[in-house]
Amino acid sequence: MKLHFCALIAIASAFGQDTPTEREAAAGVIHRMADLEHSLDVPTWVERLTASNPARDAVVARTKELMSTELLAMGDDITKHPEVGFQETRSVQILTDYLRKHGFEVTTGIANLPTAFIARYKGNGAPNLGVILEYDALRGTKGAFHGDQHSTQGPIGMAAAVAMAEWLERTHSPGSVTVFGTPAEEMFPPVKTMMFEAGAFKDVDVVVRSHAVSQTTRPAPGFGTCCLNIDAVKYIFSGAPAHQMTPWAGRNALAGVIALFNNIDGIRMVLRPEARVQGIIPEGGAAPNVVPDRAVADFYIRYPDAVYLQQVREFVDNAARAAALSTGTKLRIEQYGKARDGISLSMLADVGFAYMKRYGATNVAAAPGKPQGFEETGTVSSAVPGLGFAAQTSTAANHTYEMETDALAEIGHKGFVIDAESMAALLFDFATHPDYRAAVKREFDGIAALYTEYQDSLKKVYAAPAVPEPK
């Protein structure tokens, strides 16, 4: 049955992108996504899958048991021993020892990254259920700290993975489980992209992960990313040393970096308001009495879509070139990573959300949030269907000391168990319902097919103005 036009408009608005420009320019794409969602009849799937099922409930109960008796304590231990990205050797040893103990075959050094690993429970072939673990701490001025609660994302995923592996083995049901240990989530280049390009995710049919939040949420279907599309860029200035009493005998690389920051402040007025250009100075010289001959500015350049991000990037690159020219220094621009849109699916998100509410999630957002892939680089989530679970685990904002404190408290423990239970329930549904898997694939393929048209629509409205030569 066709929806009334006004009702279709209301549904389409729920699947909108981040900015009014995106929503207006890609209105046709958004309407087709709304048509796809209506044809899938997601509410009926949610009602059907979340109905009484003793076998699923047994897997969920086992997941809760693993969390309560072993894995919450493991998460607390990792919280108290934080390790920043690419240095998570202790955490990885703890996680991989546990997986080996439960029958998983572990391979370390994935994509030539010492703290990346894959753990496989081979089981009985397809579907291959993927679970992402994270374990790196934030880099803070006071040292490493788990202000994003990655310390328990590993135990959460392992509880669901082990419970499902045990059920598959006990019932001789078709399916296998693959656990992906992904380090350095807070750093660039994006490790999940590196692992993806190394073929780590090629055989997986669905991927789940969890992440700390202060409100229980789910994404709307569509394409997007949690933290905007990003270019990670270093601007490396080279000068010539001299005594600071005779600075004219040298060329000050730090002056070039400072000029870059000033130039960026000058161009903010001509950038669209959703742009974020944020940088630090990791290198600015070695001593006050020596003109710095090397200085580095490290920037994350962000925008909600990749099309206009190209213009923002051009502005910042030119600001750096102008800074070098005005200070007599030389410049090298080094892009060392990028994050792009991923795909989110209501067939997974709405089912997972229903389970989170069932198992007692708090501070629940009734409406879905913006579309975003299940992992923060987009690469995996634009190639494999998946979901990031987000039950409330803190009252504090992400990347704060208060969120780290909550990881050890009742609010954190409760949310972690809910994430694990919900993850196990969704994996069970995916493994045991071939028609559900087909519906997930249909939604994923349909949204993915619209992405090129979406970008083409944006290119038309982001056209740069023609600037004449001065007279």
The DSSP H or E segment spanning 302 is strand 294-303
- Spatial contact of 184 and 136, defined as CB atoms under 8 Å apart: yes
Local structure of 69: helix, strand or coil: helix
Asked whether residue 311 is assigned to any structural domain, the reply reads yes
Domain boundary among 289, 318, 339: 339
Task: State the residue range of the domain holding 335.
Answer: 229-339
| Helix 89-101 / helix 153-171 crossing angle, nearest 10 deg | 20
Separation of alpha carbons 418 and 420, rounded Å? 5
Bridge partners for 294 per DSSP: 238
- Predicted pLDDT at 122: 86
Residues 130, 167 within the same domain: yes
Residues 53, 132 within the same domain: yes
The DSSP H or E segment spanning 413 is helix 410-432
Comparing 372 with 123, the larger pLDDT belongs to 372
Asked whether residue 417 is assigned to any structural domain, the reply reads yes
pLDDT at 30 exceeding the cut of 90: no
List the CATH number of the domain containing 244: 3.30.70.360
- Predicted pLDDT at 8: 35
pLDDT at 107 exceeding the cut of 90: yes
420-435: pLDDT as tens digits: 999 999 999 999 999 9
pLDDT at 21 exceeding the cut of 70: yes
Task: State how many domains the chain has.
Answer: 2
Q: In terms of DSSP H, where are the helices of 122-190? A: 153-171
In whole angstroms, what separates CA 125 from the centre of its chain? 28
300-351: pLDDT as tens digits: 999 999 999 999 999 999 999 999 999 999 999 999 999 999 999 999 999 9
- Spatial contact of 71 and 172, defined as CB atoms under 8 Å apart: no
The token pair that represents 228 in the structure block: 């905007």
Domain boundary among 321, 339, 357: 339
List the CATH number of the domain containing 170: 3.40.630.10
pLDDT tier at 377, thresholds 50, 70, 90: confident
Q: How many CB atoms lie within 10 A of CB 176?
A: 22
- Predicted pLDDT at 18: 67
Asked whether residue 193 is assigned to any structural domain, the reply reads no
Separation of alpha carbons 145 and 151, rounded Å? 10
Residues 73, 219 within the same domain: yes
The identity of residue 291, as a single letter, is: V
Residues 207, 243 within the same domain: no
Asked whether residue 436 is assigned to any structural domain, the reply reads yes
pLDDT at 388 exceeding the cut of 90: yes
- Spatial contact of 201 and 130, defined as CB atoms under 8 Å apart: yes
The token pair that represents 279 in the structure block: 């940088």
pLDDT at 393 exceeding the cut of 50: yes
Percentage of the chain beyond pLDDT 90 is 87
Residues 82, 218 within the same domain: yes
Q: φ and ψ at 285, to 5 degrees?
A: 120, 170
Q: Average the pLDDT over 343-366 and give the result.
A: 98
Asked whether residue 328 is assigned to any structural domain, the reply reads yes
The identity of residue 169, as a single letter, is: E
- Spatial contact of 312 and 301, defined as CB atoms under 8 Å apart: yes
Contacts of 158 (CB under 8 A, 6+ apart): 66, 71, 95, 98, 99, 102, 131, 133, 179
Q: In terms of DSSP H, where are the helices of 285-433? A: 306-327, 346-358, 401-407, 410-432
The token pair that represents 299 in the structure block: 């920037």
Separation of alpha carbons 130 and 56, rounded Å? 18
- Round the average pLDDT of the chain to a whole number and report it: 94
Residues 328, 352 within the same domain: no
In whole angstroms, what separates CA 257 from the centre of its chain? 30
The identity of residue 179, as a single letter, is: V
Instruction: Give the Cα-Cα-Cα angle 448, 454, 456 (nearest 5 degrees).
Output: 125
For residues 390, 393, 398, 400, the Cα torsion angle rounded to the nearest 10 degrees is -170
Q: Average the pLDDT over 362-382 and give the result.
A: 92
Asked whether residue 442 is assigned to any structural domain, the reply reads yes
Asked whether residue 194 is assigned to any structural domain, the reply reads no
Residues 70, 95 within the same domain: yes
Contacts of 68 (CB under 8 A, 6+ apart): 417
pLDDT tier at 12, thresholds 50, 70, 90: very low
| Helix 434-461 / helix 346-358 crossing angle, nearest 10 deg | 120
Residues 262, 163 within the same domain: no
pLDDT tier at 65, thresholds 50, 70, 90: very high
pLDDT at 9 exceeding the cut of 50: no
- Predicted pLDDT at 463: 85
Q: How far apart are the first and last CA of the chain?
A: 62
Residues 105, 215 within the same domain: yes
Domain boundary among 297, 318, 339: 339
Question: Distance of CA 459 to CAs 25, 454, 456, 462, Å?
Answer: 9, 9, 5, 5
- Predicted pLDDT at 395: 97
Residues 297, 352 within the same domain: no
- Predicted pLDDT at 15: 46
Separation of alpha carbons 195 and 187, rounded Å? 14
Question: Distance of CA 309 to CAs 144, 270, 320, Å?
Answer: 31, 13, 17
pLDDT at 4 exceeding the cut of 60: no
Residues 145, 115 within the same domain: yes
- Predicted pLDDT at 437: 98
Asked whether residue 27 is assigned to any structural domain, the reply reads no
pLDDT tier at 17, thresholds 50, 70, 90: low
pLDDT at 1 exceeding the cut of 70: no
Instruction: Give the Cα-Cα-Cα angle 108, 177, 185 (nearest 5 degrees).
Output: 50
Burial of residue 401 (CB within 10 Å: 0-12, 13-18, 19+) is middle
162-216: pLDDT as tens digits: 999 999 999 999 999 999 999 999 988 899 999 999 999 999 999 999 999 999 9
pLDDT at 234 exceeding the cut of 70: yes
Residues 101, 159 within the same domain: yes
Q: Average the pLDDT over 93-104 and give the result.
A: 98
